[in-house]
Structure 1
Amino acid sequence: MTTPSPGRRRSPVFDAVTPLGLTARYLTLLVILAVTVGPMLWELSTSLKSVFEDVYTATPQLLPHRPTLDNYTQVARTVPITHFALNSLIVAALCVGGNLLGATTAGYALARLRFCGRRLVLGLFLSTLILPGEVTIISQYQTVTRLGLGNSLVGVALPAMIGALNVLLMRNAFLAIPPEVEEAAVIDGATVWQRLRHIALPSVKGTLSVIAILTFIGAWDDFLWPLLVLQSPDKLTLTVGLSYLQSVFAADPRVIAAGAMIALLPILALFTALQRYFFRGVGEGAVKG
């Protein structure tokens, strides 16, 4: 039998392997699932309901009586969803690539390199996390337009190509690597780039996956910033383009739900492909070893 650690206090309800303890655990899981997964299941159900089913009934029904894919075809007929999805994919790829490259190099410099003003730079990164995005959105818009990147996908991606939080995540991940390993590489004559490529990067694949997934989700789901930067209809991202469904089909939530589910599919595909590295990367940097 395993004994609890001395510093850990046991809960008489959740830790006890009793009918009451198991019931409390499963009830907690059910509540969490209802809050997190419930809205997505409801949107999926609404998107599959036909026009003959009442979605405003006083007694909500999760399972549709006559499942149909007509709502998805209606979305494709109303807006150029493939073109909008391609624009969103370009923006997300720029953001993910910029964060993987910029956050990796900046995080490694803050964690392993010694230079004047390192703590000041670290403090500046931390200070940017205090400000909400709405405070700096006007200055970002002015910067993008003065650079000549207004009404372009590059202008949409530019402010999010290096995130301060991602830099700090990479710094903590690099700090978790035993310093003796790099010291041995320095003795063997390895340069900074060689140490980063052959020693540091293979040890932080999980954190890189976390950054890639979170950055992709943030860029793919962003609505306010692309709405401000983009004016041409052919350059709209998917989230902004799907807003046309709200104006055209204001009384038909089935089509709007179908558009939301279409926007959700790439995120599910990316998470499914990288989930193995994602869960491993959550714990990287927590304990130095």
Structure 2
Amino acid sequence: MAVTVTAGNLVFCSMLGYALAMLEFPGKKILFALVMGMLMIPGVVTFVPLYILVANVGLVDTLPGLILPFLVTPFGVFLMRQFISDLPRDLLDAGRVDGAGELRIFWRIILPLCGPALATLGILTFLGSWNSFLWPLVVATTEQRYTLSVALALYSVGQNQTNYGLLLAGATLVVLPILAVFLVFQRRFIEGIATTGIK
């Protein structure tokens, strides 16, 4: 689940960020204002309406019900838009002169330059999705759909006592993938943070 959510955020947030940063279309400012407005709304406020929507569509206790609501996040769109808007527009003009369409410009020119931003977004999205507890606890109703954090919380606590050995062993297993992702993308993540304030 966390890998799919991360991949979706990397693709869709970068696409929308590219459109908001480099393209001109009607309603662009309104769309960006909506993204900014969604950043200001706490997730707790949208939790119940989102669950009702997922339940009405019939996605409760399914993998799409766990994944689809989080494939695009306002933070990811904002991060990618800010990073892409700092890239020189001359690169786009050069691609258009060579006859490349917008999709090819995005995949061949823009996306390779967004390594630090993509690494930052990937680490933060993976971390948030991997540690997600409340949404999987509510949406997943069978054991087959439980995430590791939900299963750990439900199975390590008995009726009268907590099994600390199981809890600590499970917590170690939950932390290992996060450490692996950070170690793999550490250099790009630090580059993304270091170049944030540079114009």
After TM superposition, the score normalised by the length of structure 1 is 0.65
CA deviation after TM superposition for structure 1 residue 264, in Å: 0.3
Contact 2:156 2:162 in 1 (8 A): no
Deviations, residues 231-287 of structure 1 (Å, cap 9, x unaligned) = 111221100000120226834434322221111011001111111111112244533
Moved over 4 A (4+): none
Instruction: Go from structure 1 to structure 2 and tell me whether the alpha carbon gap of 1:106 and 1:284 turns closer, same or farther (over 3 Å shift).
Output: farther
- The alignment partner of 2:149 has SS state of helix
Instruction: Go from structure 1 to structure 2 and tell me whether the alpha carbon gap of 1:251 and 1:165 turns closer, same or farther (over 3 Å shift).
Output: closer
Give the structure 2 partner of residue 263 of structure 1: 174
User: Is 1:149 the equivalent of 2:34?
Assistant: no
Find the partner of 1:277 among 163, 188, 194. Answer: 188
Which sections of structure 2, spanning at least 5 residues, go unmatched? none
User: 1:1-289 to 2 correspondence within 5 Å?
Assistant: 91-243=1-153, 244-247=155-158, 250-284=161-195, 286-288=197-199
Which sections of structure 1, spanning at least 5 residues, go unmatched? 1-90
Count of paired positions: 198
Quick check: which has more Rg, 1 or 2?
Answer: 1
- More helix, by proportion: 2
Q: Which amino acid aligns with 1:262?
A: L
Q: Which amino acid aligns with 1:192?
A: E
Note the aligned Cα RMSD (angstroms): 1.5
CA deviation after TM superposition for structure 1 residue 182, in Å: 1.5
Q: Which amino acid aligns with 2:168?
A: A
CA distance in 2, matches of 1:266, 1:186: 41
CA deviation after TM superposition for structure 1 residue 201, in Å: 0.8
CA distance in 1, matches of 2:12, 2:195: 19
CA deviation after TM superposition for structure 1 residue 187, in Å: 2.3
CA deviation after TM superposition for structure 1 residue 181, in Å: 1.9
CA distance in 1, matches of 2:6, 2:162: 37
Q: Which amino acid aligns with 1:226?
A: P
Instruction: Go from structure 1 to structure 2 and tell me whether the alpha carbon gap of 1:283 and 1:115 turns closer, same or farther (over 3 Å shift).
Output: farther
